[in-house]
Each structure stands twice: as C-alpha cells, then as structure tokens.
C-alpha cells in the first residue's frame, strides 16, 4: 500500500510540473474576421436609443444593416473628413482621430464593435454633409438681424447615393457653395497656409507718414509689404519712404479697401498689423458665412456686400453695373437677408421710424421747433390731423406720426426700392449724396443708400416707352408720390463678407465694421 501510494504521489507531482504556466508577457492571439464586405444586421434599438431621428431614418432605409462594409469606402470617407480643413472646418469635429484608430484594428473588431464603428462613420458623414451645406453654426442662433433660410439638403439620400452609387467626393462637392467667391476663398486659405511663419513686430502708430519721409517704422512696414507680396523682396532696407515702397503701399491699401493715396495713417497701420494667423481666421469665418448663404442666387439679382460698401447688378452671371452704397452704422446694422424686389417708389414720403424718432428727432426738435420746417416734416396726431410745431408736446412724442414731404431734401431722396422683409428696410436714394465720396460708409440707420440710383431704377423697370429716363425725370419734378410694380423678377441679397481672393490671386480684405469675424471664428473652434 505504501508503494502504491508513493507511485500515485509521484505521478501527481510530475503532472503538476508538466503543466505550463501561461506566459503573461506573450501577445494574446487576436481573432480576425473575414466579413468579405457583407453587411451586419443589428437590432434597431442600437440606433433608436440614440434618439437621433436622421440617423434612425438612415439605417431604416438600409434595413438596419451596416453600410461602411468595404475598407475602400471607409478610407475614402476618412480622407474627405481629413480634408474638411480645406473648407475651414475642424476634422476633429468629425471624430477623425477615433475613426483612424478603429480602422487600424477593423479586422479584429467583433460584430457588435463593427456595428458601433459603422454608426460612428455615419454620424460623422452626416454631420460633415450638413456643415458643408448649411455651415457648422446657425446664424439665427447668433444674430437677431440675419434672416436666411436653411439650404434644403436630404443628408440620408445624398449619403446613400455616395456609398452605393456616385462617389462620396461628388456628393460632398454637390452641397458646397458653388459661388466663385467661396471657391476662391478656399484657394485663399491655401495661399495663406503656404506663407512663412509671421514673426514681424507690431507697428506703433505715431504720426502719418508721407512719401520721402524718414521713419523708424518704415523698415517694419517694408517687411510687412514684402511678407504679403505687395513689394518685391529686398536685401537691404532703409528708413526712407521711397518710391518703390510708396507704389507697394498704394497696392496694399487698394487690397484693403483703404484710400489708395500712399499716405500711411492709422487705418493703414491697423491693416498692416493683421498677422497671418488673424487673416487666416478671417478667411475661415467668411467660408462659414458663405455656407449659410442661398445656393441659388437666381439668374438676375442685386447683391450688396455690406463691409465692401458696393452693390452689383448681376444677370446671367455677368456684372451689369457696380455702385457705391452707404450701409447701417454698427449700432443700427443693415440686416442680412435674401428677398425679391416688389416695386419702385418715386418721390417717396418718409415716416420717421421709432429709433430715429427717439434718438434724433426728439432731442433736435425739443431744442428748436424750427427743426420740423428745416426738415420739411409734417406732424400728425392720432386722428390724422396736422399739428403745428408750436403745439407739439415733446413729452407725448410717441403719440404723433412724423412724415417728411417728397423731394430732393427727403431722407430717402427721390426713389426707393421695396422688397418684402422683416426689418422694414429698403434700398433708396439719399439727401446726403456727399457720403458716397467717403471711404468709410457705415453711416445709415439700417437701410442701404445707393449712389446715383435713377439709372438703376430705369434698368429695373425695363420699359423704354413708359419709363425712359426723360419720363422718370418728369415724374420726379412733379413731387408726386408714385409706386410702380416691377414686372421683372430681380432678387436681392444683402450679405456680409470681409475677405475674398481675386482671379489674379490678390487677397482682398475689408474692415469688419460690425466686429463679427473674431467672435465667429472662436465659436467655430469651440
């Protein structure tokens, strides 16, 4: 028995020694899946619990099966998301880092993990499509005076056609703004990114600098002009404001909407002090705005660039005319909107609006009742009866209506152009015609004043028999208020952009008169 017990014990001992202890330092064998591009069907709850109606609709269209089944299509999407930076967007908004990590181990993901990965790809693609079509931010959530309708985009249909039919790249391209300004802005972003690091010091403004002056600031100014390629590179720089610098400065001023006189004043110094990074941010902000704007401006339209102080009449993609305009002050901004012109009014009367009534008329008329006669304003009480200026009671100023008679002294001038909108604004002539000679023209109370508007009225009426220029002048001479409905369908787009690039590659910038660029860029990167 002892011998038998010894043999059993020995065999157990040897058996224990032969058992291998797992080597924790060795790599675990990873299971790989060969799905051969087949769709994985999953429970609809996986999607519905996310409470995303657009996402749920997409997978319902695909019978709750994965769609990003082939590595090639996932690779194409990932590259498109990376390229979102070329649109001024942030790739990390579309989970690029997470997608790249998941793709590296896609063959070893379980079915459940692959479903979650597929959903992540879809969410990212949907978001990017929407951002390209309507922008990352909604202007109505940012501004009270922006009235733009969202562009209609069926994200799910587009995405499905990109995965199973047309290429994803074509689908993404189809929702982007097609306007040349947007396309050139993308190139402007590339151009700015190609510039060297900006290490030039800030220029302090002391006094205006004129040609042939000597100034310690001139060397830094020359460096700025060379950085932006307004001036050829030079080996040696002097403090003299010479002819070559003067010529380059005028080009710089022209690109920035400044008086192109070569005089280096505060406005020019401010523009010179914009760094490459700040200009890049400005371009990014403007790219976002163009994604908000309508995709189809129409074949015949008038477009106003508020910070540019110009309007253009466009027909069949050709510029018919270009005119200077005066736009709203910062405290009385011109609203951003799209509409269609309805009628033109010659010899309009002008009823003083509430804001101007309180801030302008009340203090001036209280100081002197002669204000009403000087401005040719008639006072009406609530019954519609006229009130003499001496009987006007300032403390009850809201109970009256104030109407300025027609004529060249009228605040609206001799013509106004009406279009439906929520802000009671319109385009019009002005009695301050000298304002068009100013470089800074953010001077109105919200409406857009048009330089020399009668030729534009004649063009819009498009009736050489009944509304020739002679007939229009005759009507204006009568001072009789006359409204004429337009037969032509002419759209109006009042928009805001402070950066663009010309076809020749020149970068153009304008003063951000409503201080919107910096704040918008920050919100885009939040």
Quick check: 256 and 439 in contact, CB under 8 A?
no
Nearest to residue 309, comparing CAs of 281, 284, 334, 274? 334
Tokens of 32: 């790989």
- 452 and 485 co-located in one domain: yes
Does residue 116 sit within a domain?
yes
- 413 and 492 co-located in one domain: yes
- 384 and 340 co-located in one domain: no
- 171 and 308 co-located in one domain: no
Quick check: 339 and 468 in contact, CB under 8 A?
no
CA distance 380 to 398: 11
pLDDT at 17: 46
- 319 and 412 co-located in one domain: yes
- 417 and 454 co-located in one domain: yes
Does residue 21 sit within a domain?
no
- 345 and 357 co-located in one domain: no
Which residues lie below 8 Å from residue 212, measured CB to CB, with a gap of 6+?
A: 240, 241, 242
pLDDT at 35: 72
- Identify the domain boundary among 341, 363, 398: 398
Does residue 71 sit within a domain?
yes
Active-site entry in 16, 62, 179, 428: 428
Q: Considering its fold, how many domains does the chain have in total?
A: 3
Give, as one character, the DSSP assignment of residue 22: P
Listing DSSP states for 457-487 in one string gives HHHHH--TTTS-HHHHHHHHHHT--EEEE-S
- 345 and 375 co-located in one domain: no
Q: pTM for this structure?
A: 0.90
- 488 and 361 co-located in one domain: no
Per run of 10 residues, the mean pLDDT along the chain (length 526 residues) is 46 46 44 76 96 97 96 96 98 97 95 97 98 97 96 96 89 96 98 96 96 96 97 92 97 97 97 98 98 97 98 97 97 97 97 90 95 95 95 94 94 97 96 95 96 98 96 96 97 98 97 98 95
Does residue 135 sit within a domain?
yes
Q: Known catalytic residue: 447?
A: yes
CA distance 384 to 489: 36
> Which domain, by its residues, includes 362?
353-398
Nearest to residue 60, comparing CAs of 74, 77, 73, 41? 41
pLDDT at 24: 42
- 171 and 143 co-located in one domain: yes
Nearest to residue 513, comparing CAs of 501, 496, 491? 496
- Identify the domain boundary among 176, 197, 224: 176
Does residue 190 sit within a domain?
no
pLDDT at 447: 96
Active-site entry in 422, 447, 466, 493: 447
- Identify the domain boundary among 127, 156, 176: 176
pLDDT at 27: 39
- 337 and 464 co-located in one domain: yes
- 412 and 454 co-located in one domain: yes
Does residue 277 sit within a domain?
no
């Amino acid at each position: 028995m002892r011998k038998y017990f010894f043999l059993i014990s020995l065999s157990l001992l040897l058996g224990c020694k032969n058992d291998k202890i797992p080597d924790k330092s060795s790599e675990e064998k990873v299971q790989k899946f060969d799905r051969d591009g087949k769709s994985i069907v999953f429970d609809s709850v996986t999607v519905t619990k996310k409470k995303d109606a657009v996402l749920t609709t997409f997978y319902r269209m695909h019978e709750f099966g994965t769609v990003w089944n082939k590595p090639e299509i996932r690779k194409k999407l990932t590259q498109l998301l990376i390229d979102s930076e070329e649109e001024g967007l942030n790739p990390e908004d579309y989970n690029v880092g997470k997608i790249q990590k998941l793709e590296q181990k896609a063959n070893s993901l379980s079915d459940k993990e692959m479903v979650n990965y597929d959903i992540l790809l879809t969410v990212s693609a949907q978001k990017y499509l929407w951002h390209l079509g309507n922008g990352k931010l909604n202007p109505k959530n940012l501004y009270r005076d922006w009235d733009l309708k969202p562009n209609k985009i069926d994200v799910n249909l587009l995405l499905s056609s990109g995965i199973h039919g047309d290429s994803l790249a074509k689908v993404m391209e189809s929702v982007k703004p097609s306007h040349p300004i947007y396309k050139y802005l993308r190139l402007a972003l590339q151009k700015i990114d190609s510039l060297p690091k900006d290490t030039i010091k800030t220029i302090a403004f002391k006094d205006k600098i004129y040609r042939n002056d000597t100034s310690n600031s001139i060397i830094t100014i020359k460096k700025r002009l060379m950085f932006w390629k307004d001036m050829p590179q030079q080996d040696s720089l002097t403090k003299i404001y010479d002819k070559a610098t003067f010529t380059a400065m005028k080009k710089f001023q022209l690109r920035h909407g400044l008086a192109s006189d070569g005089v280096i004043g505060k406005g020019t110094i401010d523009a010179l002090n914009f760094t490459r990074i700040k200009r890049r941010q400005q371009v990014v902000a403007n790219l976002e705005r163009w994604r908000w704007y309508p995709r189809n401006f129409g074949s015949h339209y008038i477009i106003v660039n508020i910070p540019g102080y110009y309007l253009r009449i466009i027909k069949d993609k050709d510029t018919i005319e270009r005119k200077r305009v005066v736009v709203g002050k910062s405290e009385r901004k011109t609203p951003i909107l799209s509409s269609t012109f309805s009628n033109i009014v010659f010899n309009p009367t002008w009823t003083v609006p509430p804001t101007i009534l309180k801030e302008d008329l009340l203090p001036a008329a209280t100081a002197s009742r002669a204000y009403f006669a000087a401005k040719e304003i008639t006072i009406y009480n609530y019954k519609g009866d006229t009130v003499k200026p001496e009987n006007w009671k300032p403390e009850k100023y809201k109970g009256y209506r104030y109407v300025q008679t027609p004529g060249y002294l009228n605040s609206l001038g001799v013509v106004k152009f009406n279009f439906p909108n929520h802000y009671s604004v319109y385009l019009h002539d002005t009695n301050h015609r000298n304002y068009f000679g100013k470089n800074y023209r953010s001077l109105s109370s919200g409406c857009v004043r048009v330089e020399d508007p009668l030729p534009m009225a004649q063009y819009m009426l498009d009736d050489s028999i009944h509304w020739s220029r002679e007939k229009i002048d005759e009507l204006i001479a009568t001072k009789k208020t006359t409204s004429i409905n337009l037969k032509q369908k002419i759209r109006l787009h009042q928009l805001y952009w402070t950066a663009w690039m010309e076809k020749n590659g020149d970068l153009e910038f304008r003063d951000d008169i409503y201080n919107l660029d910096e704040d918008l860029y920050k919100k885009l990167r939040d």
